[in-house]
A and B are shown apart, each in its own frame.
Chain A
Amino acid sequence: MRANFVASEVSSGIRRNLTMTMAVIITVAVSLGLFGASMLVRAQVSTMKDFWYDKVEVSIFLCGKGSDTPSCAGGPVTGAQRDQIKADLDSLKPLVDSVYYESQAEAFARFQEQFKNSPIVDNVKPTALPESFRVKLSDPTKYDVVASAFAGRPGIEQVNDQRKILDKFFQLLGGLQLIALLIALSMLVVTVLLIANTMRVAAFSRRRETSIMRLVGASNFYIQLPFLLEAAVAAGIGAILAVVGLVFVKIIVIDQVLAQSFQFTAFVGWDAVLAIAPLMILVGVGLAAIAAFFTLRKYLRV
Chain B
Amino acid sequence: MILLDRVTKLYANQERPALDEVSLEIEKGEFVFLVGPSGSGKSTFLRLVLREERPTKGQVWVAGKELNRLSNWKIPALRRQIGTVFQDFRLLPNKTVAENVAFALEVIGKPAAHIRKVVPEVLEVVGLEGKEERRPDELSGGEQQRVAIARAFVNRPILLIADEPTGNLDPGTSVGIMKLLDRINQLGTTVVMSTHDQAIVDQMRRRVIELEGGHVVRDQSRGVYGYAR
Which A residues have a C-beta under 8 Å from some C-beta of B? Answer: 1-2, 4-5, 208-209, 211-220, 222-223, 302
Contact = CB atoms under 8 A, between A and B. Distances in A.
Contacts of A213: 107
Interface stretch (B59-67, B74-82, B164-172): B74-82
B79 A215 contact: yes
Given A208-B92, A220-B73, A214 B108 contact: no
A217 B110 CA distance: 12
B92 A212 contact: yes
Nearest to A212: B90
A29 B126 CA distance: 52
Contact of A2 (B72, B80, B104, B109): B109
Contacts of A211: 90
B194 interface: no
A215 B84 CA distance: 7
Given A219-B73, A220-B73, A302-B72, A2 B79 contact: no
Classify chain B: how many residues form its interface, as a range: 20 to 34
B7 interface: no
Contacts of B77: 217
Contact of A208 (B76, B90, B155): B90
Q: Which of A208, A211, A212 has the most CB of B within 10 A?
A: A212
Contacts, number: 58
Interface of A is mostly: helix
Contacts of B50: 215
B112 A2 contact: yes
A272 B104 CA distance: 50
Given A215-B50, A217-B78, A5 B72 contact: no
Contacts of B75: 217, 302
Interface in B115-168: 151, 155
B11 interface: no
Which 6 A-B residue pairings sit nearest by Cβ, starting from the closest?
Answer: A217-B79, A217-B80, A218-B107, A216-B104, A217-B76, A219-B76
A212 to B, nearest CB: 6
A214 B79 CA distance: 8
9 contacts: A2-B110, A211-B90, A212-B107, A215-B50, A215-B90, A216-B151, A217-B108, A219-B108, A220-B72
Contacts of A217: 75-82, 108
Contacts of A219: 73, 76, 108
A4 to B, nearest CB: 8
Contacts of A220: 72-73, 76
Given A302-B72, A302-B75, A302-B76, A216 B108 contact: yes
